[in-house]
Structure formats: structure tokens, C-alpha cells
Amino acid sequence: MFDNGSMKLRSCLLLFCSVILLASETVAGLKWTAPAGWTAESGARPMRAATYTVGDAECAVYFFGQGQGGGIQANLERWKNQFQGSISKTGNRTIHGLPVTTIDVSGNYNGMTGPGSGGGAPKPGYRMLGAIVENPAGNVFFKFTGPAKTIAANQAKFDLLLNSVTK
């Protein structure tokens, strides 16, 4: 029925599709695929749907539930306030029919503040690319934070991550 070449091609296609499915993540009816070279962190972390490490940077994906996690503007302000002397730029776009608000902020990173956050001393020369994907089942928050050089080198991959988000 199949010759040896066809069987090998078919096997390779099945393996490729399996790898793609394994690399996909999902929460609240949304699905995305982590870029090549990004390492998924194993083990659950509070409020996170996924965590990826990229060298000395981290991309965290948060989901708090429908109607939870605060408004878009409040989150953008909170993220900007995590940086001292920050320079920021926000934007809006639509990805696969989903409204997405983005932020690019840089400066001295203070980290998250509040009880149990472990803030620590400000880290100079940091940058964060953030995105809030609006979804009827609850917004999903993407935060890619680390040294500005690492973030710049991986900005295209962060865009690939965002562009892979689908319902």
C-alpha cells in the first residue's frame, strides 16, 4: 500500500505534528505555542498558566479567571510602576480576532511589589514586553522580563508567541 519512502515521510509528519501539539499551551479557551529555544518551566507557580525561560529572562503567562486580574489600564500602570525612570510605549492590535494591548517598558526594574513578592534591589538595564489578550473567558497576561539585551534579542520570538494565540 505504501512504499518505504512514503512511510518515512508519513512517520516524520506524525512526529512533527506531535511535537507541535506538545509545545502548545492552553488556558481559558486560548491556545499558543512557545517559540523554539524557549524552555517551559516545570512545576506549578501561583496564578501562572505557563512560565518560559530564555537565557537570563523569563516570560510568564498569567490567568486569574473570568472578570479577575484587574482592568487593562490598571495592569499597564502597575507594570510601568515596576520600573524606575521608565520609558514606555503602549499599543493595540488584533490577533486572530482577539483584542491585544501591548506595552514595552524599560529602566531599573523593581520587580513585583507587595507581600511575598521578594522584590529586592532594583535591577538596572531591564526591559519588559507585556501583552494582555482580551478573552470572554478571562484575560490572559503575557510578561516577558529580563535584561534589555536579552529581551531585544528575543523580541521577534515574543511576537511569534503572541501571533500564535488562537481560540
**Which CATH number do you get for residue 90?**
3.40.1000.10
pLDDT at residue 85 in the model: 87
Q: Could you give the number of structural domains in the chain?
A: 1
pTM passes above 0.85: no
Is the pLDDT assigned to residue 19 strictly greater than 50?
no
Cα(38)–Cα(90) distance, rounded to whole angstroms?
24
pLDDT at residue 2 in the model: 46
Is residue 20 situated within a structural domain?
no
Categorize the per-residue pLDDT at 121 as very low, low, confident or very high, splitting at 50, 70 and 90. Answer: confident
Cβ neighbours around 145 below 10 Å, total = 23
pLDDT at residue 118 in the model: 53
pLDDT at residue 43 in the model: 72
Cα(1)–Cα(156) distance, rounded to whole angstroms?
44
Cα(49)–Cα(130) distance, rounded to whole angstroms?
15
Over residues 130-152, mean pLDDT: 97
Over residues 131-135, mean pLDDT: 97
Is residue 2 situated within a structural domain?
no
Q: How far is C-alpha 139 from the chain's CA centre?
A: 13
Is residue 153 situated within a structural domain?
yes
Kindly report the average pLDDT of the chain as a whole number.
Answer: 85
For 35-77, how does the pLDDT look when each residue is reduced to its tens digit (9 = 90+)?
Answer: 999 999 987 777 899 999 999 999 999 999 988 999 999 999 9
pLDDT at residue 10 in the model: 46
Is residue 4 situated within a structural domain?
no
Is residue 10 situated within a structural domain?
no
| Residue 157 structural domain | 25-163
Residue with cell 523593581: 110
Q: How far is C-alpha 68 from the chain's CA centre?
A: 18
Over residues 131-152, mean pLDDT: 97
Of the two residues 9 and 145, the one the predictor is more confident about is 145
Is residue 16 situated within a structural domain?
no
Is residue 1 situated within a structural domain?
no
Is residue 110 situated within a structural domain?
yes
Is the pLDDT assigned to residue 151 strictly greater than 50?
yes
pLDDT at residue 61 in the model: 97
